[in-house]
Structure 1
Amino acid sequence: MKKWIGLSLAALLIAGCEKLEESVESLKRLEEEGVIKVKTVKAYTVEQQDGLTQEIAGVVAPLKELPLSFGRSGRIATIFVKKGSVVKQGETLAALDTSVWQQEVNAAQGQVASAAIRRAKALQGPAQHEVEAQKIQLEKARQTAAQAAEEHARGKLLYANGAISKDELDSLALRERQAKLDLEEQQIRYDNLLKGADKLDVEAANAEVQQASVQLMRARQEAADAVLKAPFAGVVASISQAESEQTGPGSEVMRLVDTSRWLVKLQVTGEQIGSFAVGKTVTVQAPDGTETEGTVSFVAPVIDSGTGTYPVEVTISGQERVWKGGMTVTCRYQVKPNGGVLVPASGVGISEESYYVMAIKDNTVKKTPVKVGNVYGPYYEVLEGLEPGDQIVSSGISYVADGEVVKVADE
């Protein structure tokens, strides 16, 4: 019995020693792991970059889109095109009933022709037969005046001898004066005919021609307003009215779109606007992958208070025929740092109004102040504090401390 008790105590002592050794080994392992275990971080190696490609979304719009309407009221007689028709500049698209205005044009043309004939006649002066006829009238007036003077002289003698009365003598004197006045008038007419064209007649004829020409221009303009022509080459995007409908100025009949070139409208942030300038080349990609080169044609000088961005327009060619108004496209453009290097924005921190990065050297983190420039999308431009080849923590910089030992992921 005592023997079994001794053996049991020995066994308990051996088992206790083994558990104690296991506990000691466990503590040692935990201590070693606490010393060796370090944080794993993602790193970014700074490189000298000549440029960086950035992307921004834009919306396609026609370069020219115009609602078309007639210049006057009337009934639409004919529409010569349909939706989707490709038209040339100056092509007739629709017309009103022009019968009334055409009559006005014809009447005005007749007035101009008549006035022109009268002016030509005034410029030529009197015809030869008019001069000869006036010469005959002048000779008759001269004979009448001579006869009246002779009768007046004879009357004076008769009155002196008491053969006629004083009233009869006065009547002869009046007839002589009237004959002289008629002679003078006929002489003036004859002299004017010999001078040629009368200046006043020519001026009156010119004024008549000018007035008739103005009436003709007005009639033609009214007739032209009744015809709708394409102001530029393009595609008929829609037709709002039909033949036989009444229409008038400002009432849209159809809409014309110029598809030879398109605009891509961008909303650019203040951080990106420095990368855009008129004339810069931009690559535009359609949703189906089609790409074309575009040119920046407009950069707003002031910010849009409604969106907080700067409106920018890129002009592209319509040769590919994939562009549609309202389509969302992707624009890629090149960014060139101003002498600095580009690092991920997630790797730059702000402390007391200054910027810093967590540089990695010999697996140890060091908080390093930097001077930043522009922001290019997800990248900061670092002007001072970093050199090509330096390595920094690229994300999660708030989880590491200055002087902490780290391990770079996948290194």
Structure 2
Amino acid sequence: MDKVIEKKKFNRKTIIIMVAAIVFIALVAYGYRLSLNKVYRVEADKITLSKVEYGDFEDVVLLNASVVPLTSVIVSSSEGGTVAQIFTENGSFVKEGTPLLRIANPNALASYTSSETSITEQINQLRKVRLDLEQNQRVMLQDMMDIDNKLRSATRKFKADSILFERKVITREEFTMSSQDYDYYKGRKSLLQQAIKQENQSRGMQLQQIESSIGRMNESLELIRQNIENMTIKAPVSGRLSSYDPVIGKSYSANEMLGKIDVLQGYKLQAGVDEYYINRVKEGQSAHCEFDGQTYKLKVNKVIPEVTAGQFQVEMVFDGKAPENLRRGLSMQTKLTLSDNSKSLLLSQGQFFQSTGGNWVFVEKDGKATKRNVKIGRKNYLYYEVLEGLQKGENVVTSSYDLFNQYDMLEITK
């Protein structure tokens, strides 16, 4: 009996055609995917890959601090002018009151001299008025003495004539004359007493005003003389003179800095801090530095929040023993501690941050790097703190993204 042979559904030719079609579709799909994702080819030695680590995040800022005196006093002139004489040099140790230089200003000097002469004349005039008042007082007192004397005589005669008139020894006319003289001098004395009282009150007010005016004028004279004397600039405190470079004939404006005097009472550190940390740096925070192989503790004494060229300034003082042999201008690397250490995912610092702001990174796997959104927290001088988007052991491109920050994928070639 014949056996029916079933016909195969797929022969070799059909299978080859199907495989070719699948490969073609895969290539088309890959090409389409590449068209959607912009790819940049980069050589491996042109980028830096950093591995995400897990460890202690040291919340510190590395600063390049300069040694400055604890106290510096600015030397300036209250009057502008040109340098006429120089008495000392930069770097010299000076005592308070030591002459440093002399400023010449002929116009100001002439003005001061004229004002001094005018005020002196006014003072002399007021003193003359005071003498006139005193002279007038003496005249009135002399008049009072004269009236008193005449009144006493008139009183004696009036009393005597009163007795004689009662006894009819003298006439009424003689008694009337005695009575009139007595009343006259008594009235004169009363009027003079009132005049003296009013004069004393007026003189007292005038003398008080005169003394007050003379006092103010003397103060003005003293100020003028002080301004003339201030043309010779003197050291306001004892210390070492710095930033001092006058030249004969050089002009200075009023209150312009001529130099500084460093008061030799110790030193502090001053450093510029990136404005990124402006809300995290506070007074009282601790820091430390190394000098001659020893570590010294510091604390933030002052924060100056004004930002210049992307930095603000901090001042740090030594917390305890300070190094010996410090001097102005020494540079010391300092670590400023912002908070305690904590366990975190760590990503090495790199220039990628300037391009992405820490919002995304390229994560590498099997020779390809793709974009991934991340969240970066704090940073120190070595690492960024990774809050979201990365896992321990992943490789991240941390070098600059300037050439390919508009691409979605990197193909890393060797």
Q: TM-score, normalised by structure 1?
A: 0.51
Q: Is the 8 A contact 2:281 2:338 kept in 1?
A: no
Cα separation, 1, equivalents of 2:49 and 2:394? 8
Q: Is the 8 A contact 1:344 1:379 kept in 2?
A: yes
Cα separation, 2, equivalents of 1:50 and 1:353? 20
Counterparts of 1:374-389 in structure 2 under 5 Å? 374-384=378-388
| Aligned counterpart for 1:331 among listed residues 331, 334, 355 | 334
Aligned to 2:200: 198
Cα separation, 2, equivalents of 1:73 and 1:366? 68
Aligned to 1:66: 74
Cα separation, 1, equivalents of 2:351 and 2:90? 55
Cα separation, 2, equivalents of 1:299 and 1:55? 18
Q: Which has the larger radius of gyration?
A: 1
Q: Is the 8 A contact 1:241 1:254 kept in 2?
A: no
Counterparts of 1:16-31 in structure 2 under 5 Å? none
| Aligned counterpart for 2:240 among listed residues 235, 252, 266 | 235
Q: Is the 8 A contact 1:72 1:248 kept in 2?
A: yes
Cα separation, 2, equivalents of 1:47 and 1:213? 78
Deviations 1:94-147 (A, max 9, x none): 58799x98x98xx79x979979x979979x99998774334236679999xxxx
Aligned to 1:214: 216
- Counterpart of 1:280 in structure 2: which amino acid? Q
Q: Is the 8 A contact 1:137 1:186 kept in 2?
A: no
Task: Report the CA distance shift for 1:207/1:367 in structure 2 as closer, same or farther (over 3 A).
Answer: closer
The DSSP-based 3-state class of the residue aligned with 1:391 is: coil
Aligned to 2:11: none
Aligned to 1:300: 305
Cα separation, 1, equivalents of 2:142 and 2:323? 74
Q: Is the 8 A contact 2:359 2:373 kept in 1?
A: no
Percent identical pairs in the alignment equals: 13
Q: Is the 8 A contact 1:357 1:367 kept in 2?
A: yes
Q: Is the 8 A contact 2:55 2:343 kept in 1?
A: no
Question: 1:91: Cα distance to partner?
Answer: 2.9
**Do residues 283 (structure 1) and 288 (structure 2) align?**
yes
Aligned to 1:85: 92
**Do residues 393 (structure 1) and 395 (structure 2) align?**
yes
Cα separation, 1, equivalents of 2:359 and 2:86? 72
Consecutive unaligned residues of structure 1, counting only runs of 5 or more, are: 1-38, 144-152, 155-179, 403-411
Aligned to 2:274: 268
Q: TM-score, normalised by structure 2?
A: 0.51
- Choose between structure 1 and 2 for higher RCO, CA contacts under 8 A separated by at least 6 residues: 2
Alignment length (residue pairs): 316
Task: Report the CA distance shift for 1:75/1:183 in structure 2 as closer, same or farther (over 3 A).
Answer: farther
Aligned to 1:344: 348
Counterparts of 1:109-258 in structure 2 under 5 Å? 131-136=144-149, 187-193=190-196, 198-225=200-227, 226-227=229-230, 228-237=233-242, 238=244, 240=246, 250=254, 254-258=258-262
Cα separation, 1, equivalents of 2:241 and 2:74? 10
Q: Is the 8 A contact 2:52 2:390 kept in 1?
A: no
- Counterpart of 2:224 in structure 1: which amino acid? E
Q: Is the 8 A contact 1:299 1:310 kept in 2?
A: no
- Counterpart of 1:322 in structure 2: which amino acid? L
Cα separation, 1, equivalents of 2:101 and 2:295? 41
Aligned to 1:372: 376
Question: 1:216: Cα distance to partner?
Answer: 1.6
Two-structure CA RMSD over aligned residues (Å): 6.4
